[in-house]
Chains A and B, each alone.
Chain A
């Protein structure tokens, strides 16, 4: 069954239409990458999927079950299956690394503290942050904060992970440490929806690539279809421009 199924999703800020009917889907374990010029609505799509921005039309199904974004219960259930990592990490500034990772499983999911802390230690080790359990976010570099944010999302043991330009706020030398972390996750069968401008990375890890422009999906295909033989001019321009850099 399709794990994440988005049909004709529309979204507006005030009177301005940002998403004009987006359709895409991801099978279980797939890594679907969203590419497209900035302002095309990629972040808005991810925010709408987790219910931070209310969709005005369309349908979202997770494992076949439709999400009702106006129902608090439905949104809570959705968020227990789906985690998001933001471009700006959004770690809680008032909590240590360990607390950032453990707070939701302990206080929201009510899981035993010892068990969650063991899991968190394992996750932090996996993202290479085992030495920083007691540090506060402001004491960490951007790349380190982003890796903690990924560990925090994983601690919820989500079935679907949304990643929004998780490397674009980082210094170039920090990018690879975060990409390595994500690369390892792709082997573990988590369904991923990934927004990124790192084209070679997208090409390497994605099972499918979705090109967006102006609030719409322009083209969907395998990485080689999109990068080697795009059918739409808009995709060709965008890919060509990005790859030249």
Chain B
């Protein structure tokens, strides 16, 4: 098994193959980045909405809770299938990458909204009351008082989530998005040994994920509100 690996290596690590792999890795990273950015913004909106006590927003809040609970309880693979077949009739020339990215954003919004909500709830109620008595509106309270204190609670789990998500995007290979996992499959189909093809892919995933997960554990210790400097 390992002789075959050594034997094939020179053919495998050609300039074009390496570029191809790196492009695939960039696509994996890109999907994760877009997913986490969109998910964070939409998740923030949902989390803020859920904090509202205005009776007019009640229907919206019910929808938001239903959305979050639904998308956190369905396998990502199933969501990909549903999005694939739901989007194709609507947008005839949507690329597979677009479809996968939409599925990713739907899921990341649900998970990140819960992470943001936990962060918002970690800010003591007295801070918000202080702002209200100074005549701060909801938006100003959020911007000047809540978010500056909540971010240190939000960031570490949000990064841990991004680390999970880098790996989950591998499922997009199933519908044919040419990301890292798919590139591994292509090399294996071209006759390279599976250990070489998938091994290279595993290494690249590791290189994407490990620094981020280290950053996450570092920030978790650094930002721990119970021992802030």
Chains A, B in direct contact (C-beta < 8 Å):
yes
> Chain A: residues with CB nearer than 8 A to chain B?
50-52, 76, 79-80, 83-84, 86, 88, 90-95, 103-104, 107-108, 138, 152, 156
Q: Does B133 contact A (CB under 8 A)?
A: yes
Contact between A52 and B127 (Cβ–Cβ < 8 Å)?
Answer: no
How distant is the Cα of A93 from the Cα of B225 in the complex, in angstroms?
11
Residues of A within 8 A of B213 (CB): none
How distant is the Cα of A95 from the Cα of B136 in the complex, in angstroms?
15
How distant is the Cα of A143 from the Cα of B129 in the complex, in angstroms?
20
Selected from B130, B136, B145, the residue in CB contact (under 8 A) with A108 is B136
**Chain B minimum-CB-distance residue to A149:** B130
Residues of A within 8 A of B140 (CB): 107-108
Contact between B127 and A93 (Cβ–Cβ < 8 Å)?
Answer: yes
Number of A-B contacts (CB under 8 A): 50
Given A52-B129, A90-B126, A90-B127, A108 and B134 contact (CB-CB distance below 8 Å): yes
Q: Does B131 contact A (CB under 8 A)?
A: yes
Selected from A79, A84, A86, A94, the residue in CB contact (under 8 A) with B145 is A94
- The minimal Cβ–Cβ distance linking A45 to chain B, given in whole angstroms, is 14
Q: Does B148 contact A (CB under 8 A)?
A: yes
Residues of B within 8 A of A83 (CB): 133-134
Contact between A90 and B148 (Cβ–Cβ < 8 Å)?
Answer: no
Selected from B127, B135, B144, B145, the residue in CB contact (under 8 A) with A76 is B135
Contact between A92 and B133 (Cβ–Cβ < 8 Å)?
Answer: no
Selected from A86, A107, A152, the residue in CB contact (under 8 A) with B144 is A107
Selected from B131, B132, B135, B228, the residue in CB contact (under 8 A) with A92 is B131
Task: Known pairs A92-B145, A107-B136; list 18 more (Cβ under 8 Å).
Answer: A51-B132, A79-B132, A79-B133, A80-B135, A83-B134, A84-B133, A86-B129, A90-B126, A90-B129, A90-B130, A91-B130, A93-B149, A94-B145, A103-B134, A104-B134, A107-B144, A108-B134, A108-B136
Residues of A within 8 A of B148 (CB): 94-95
Residues facing A in B139-172 (CB within 8 A) are 140, 144-145, 148-149
Residues of B within 8 A of A80 (CB): 135
Residues facing A in B152-208 (CB within 8 A) are none
Residues of B within 8 A of A93 (CB): 127, 149
Residues of B within 8 A of A91 (CB): 130
Selected from A84, A104, A152, the residue in CB contact (under 8 A) with B136 is A104
Selected from A76, A92, A107, A138, the residue in CB contact (under 8 A) with B130 is A92
- The minimal Cβ–Cβ distance linking A110 to chain B, given in whole angstroms, is 11
Contact between B130 and A79 (Cβ–Cβ < 8 Å)?
Answer: no
Residues of B within 8 A of A79 (CB): 132-135
- The minimal Cβ–Cβ distance linking B75 to chain A, given in whole angstroms, is 39
How distant is the Cα of A188 from the Cα of B144 in the complex, in angstroms?
31
How distant is the Cα of A76 from the Cα of B133 in the complex, in angstroms?
9
How distant is the Cα of A84 from the Cα of B134 in the complex, in angstroms?
9
